[in-house]
């Protein structure tokens, strides 16, 4: 029994160790997506708003709440909080998810690229 | 004094042309009739001049700029045709002057409202090209191109945030103030 538990614990620890580099790889790929598709409007430094709001701390933030950025009413009143699910939906089709958003971006249509991008955004804390 | 045969033929040809004047030509006439604010005209000319200059470069930035230029010019044509002309009425309206000869702006504003999603989609296309241009400029260490791309995206935001809504406000104000057309 104790041998079984030991093996189980080792398997869990092993899979966790494997998951960390995979997530890091996703984030690295996501940074490339960010540079190619978001970088012209968004910064990732705290408090640095440009054409779009800073994406520092985006995961866990209430939509339309970054201080010093003027949002559309659609964004402010969306009631969304940015997490993996809401970001995935918004990034797939921004204007359909938040009608009236002023983000002039058609969205990331590739699902893997969206996952990678969200993994990168999650690192911005 | 009678008309010469050449003059008659020319007049007939002209009347035929007018009869079959395509919609786009009619809109071009509308564009000539109603200019856009001079400050914006200068901005457009400068943006096209700079993007054209980048389009003449060799390499990736030139290649992207050539494609982006087509989309950008098409959008500018649309803006100058019916999005921006109503803004020329803003100074007069701000001084409290509303006259029936301003009615043309209402029809333009109705077109803006009908085409809002198409116009927005054009902005997203321009932003996408500018993203590509900016990324290529970073790789090629072309700071001037990077700045141009950022400026053009900021202009798109200004159109969405200010110019288009302002034009609509002008049209709706005129609709409220002017008696219905006969």
What is the pLDDT, as a whole number, of residue A15?
A: 52
Mean pLDDT of B128-143: 96
**Does the CB of A39 have a partner CB in chain B at under 8 Å?**
yes
Is B5 within the bounds of a domain? no
- Domain that residue B164 falls in: 35-174
Residue B167 within a domain: yes
Query: Which of B64, B120, B159 to probe the A interface (max A CBs under 10 A)?
Result: B120
**How far apart are alpha carbons B44 and B81 in whole angstroms?**
13
Which of A34, A37, A40 to probe the B interface (max B CBs under 10 A)?
A: A40
Could you tell me the pLDDT band of residue B181, with boundaries at 50, 70 and 90?
Answer: confident
* Residue B150: inside a domain: yes
Residue B99 lies in a domain: yes
ipTM of the complex: 0.77
CA distance B63 to B19: 42
Mean pLDDT of the region B22-32: 47
Mean pLDDT of chain A: 88
Q: Do B124 and A35 touch (CB under 8 A)?
A: no
| Mean pLDDT computed over every residue of chain B | 86
The residues in A 75-94 lying below 8 A from B, measured between CB atoms, are none
Give the model confidence (pLDDT) of A35-70 as tens digits: 999 999 999 999 999 999 999 999 999 999 999 999
The pLDDT-based confidence of B23 (bands split at 50, 70, 90) is very low
Q: What are B100-125's pLDDT values in tens digits?
A: 999 999 999 999 999 999 999 999 99
Question: Looking at the domain assignment, is residue B44 inside a domain?
Answer: yes
Query: What is the structure's pLDDT at A53?
Result: 97
User: What totals of helices (H) and strands (E) does chain A contain, helices first?
Assistant: 5, 0
Residue B19 lies in a domain: no
Tokens representing B27 are: 């809109």
pLDDT score for B7:
40
* Domain presence at residue B11: no
Nearest-Cα residue of chain A relative to residue B122: A104
* A25-36: burial string, b at 16+ Cβ within 10 Å, e else: ebbebbbebbeb
Chain A residues with CB-CB distance to B156 below 8 A = 104
Query: Domain for residue B129, yes or no?
Result: yes
Which chain B residues have a beta carbon less than 8 Å from that of A95? Answer: 117, 120
Beta bridge partners of A62: A81
Residue B179, by phi and psi: left (phi above 0), alpha (psi -120 to 50) or beta? beta
Which residues of chain A have a CB within 8 Å of the CB of B150?
40, 51
Count Cβ atoms within 10 A of the Cβ of residue A108 and give its class: 0-12 exposed, 13-18 middle, 19 or more buried: buried
Task: Report the pLDDT value the prediction gives residue B20, as an integer from 0 to 100.
Answer: 35
Q: Would you state the pLDDT for residue B29?
A: 47
Model confidence at A11: pLDDT above 50: yes
- Beta carbons of A119 and A101 less than 8 angstroms apart: no
Whole-number pLDDT of residue B12: 38
| Total domains present in chain B | 1
The answer to whether A35 contacts chain B (CB < 8 Å) is yes
């Amino acid at each position: 029994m104790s041998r079984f538990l030991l093996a189980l614990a080792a398997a869990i620890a092993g899979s966790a160790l494997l998951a960390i580099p995979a997530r890091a790889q996703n984030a690295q790929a996501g940074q490339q997506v960010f540079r190619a598709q978001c970088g012209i409007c968004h910064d990732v430094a705290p408090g640095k708003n440009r054409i779009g709001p800073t994406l520092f701390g985006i995961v866990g933030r209430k939509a339309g709440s970054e201080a010093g950025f003027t949002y559309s009413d659609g964004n402010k009143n969306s009631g969304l909080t940015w997490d993996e699910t809401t970001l995935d939906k918004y990034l797939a089709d921004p204007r359909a998810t938040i009608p009236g958003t002023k983000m002039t971006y058609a969205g990331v249509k590739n699902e893997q690229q969206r996952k990678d991008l969200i993994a990168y955004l999650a690192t911005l804390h | 004094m009678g008309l010469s045969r050449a003059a008659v033929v020319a007049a007939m040809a002209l009347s035929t042309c007018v009869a079959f004047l395509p919609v786009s030509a009619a809109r071009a006439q509308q564009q000539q009739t109603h200019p856009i604010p001079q400050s914006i005209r200068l901005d457009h000319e400068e943006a096209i001049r700079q993007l054209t200059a980048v389009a003449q470069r060799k390499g990736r930035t030139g290649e992207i700029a050539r494609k982006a230029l087509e989309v950008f010019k098409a959008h500018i044509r649309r803006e100058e045709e019916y999005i921006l002309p109503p803004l020329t009425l803003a100074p007069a309206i701000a001084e409290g002057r509303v006259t029936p000869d301003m009615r043309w702006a209402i029809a333009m504003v109705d077109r803006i409202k009908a085409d809002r999603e198409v116009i927005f989609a054009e902005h997203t296309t321009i932003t996408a090209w500018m993203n590509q241009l900016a990324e290529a400029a970073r790789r090629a260490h072309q700071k001037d191109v990077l700045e141009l791309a950022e400026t053009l995206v900021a202009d798109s935001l200004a159109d969405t945030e200010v110019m288009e809504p302002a034009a609509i406000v002008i049209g709706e104000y005129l609709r409220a103030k002017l008696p219905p057309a006969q």
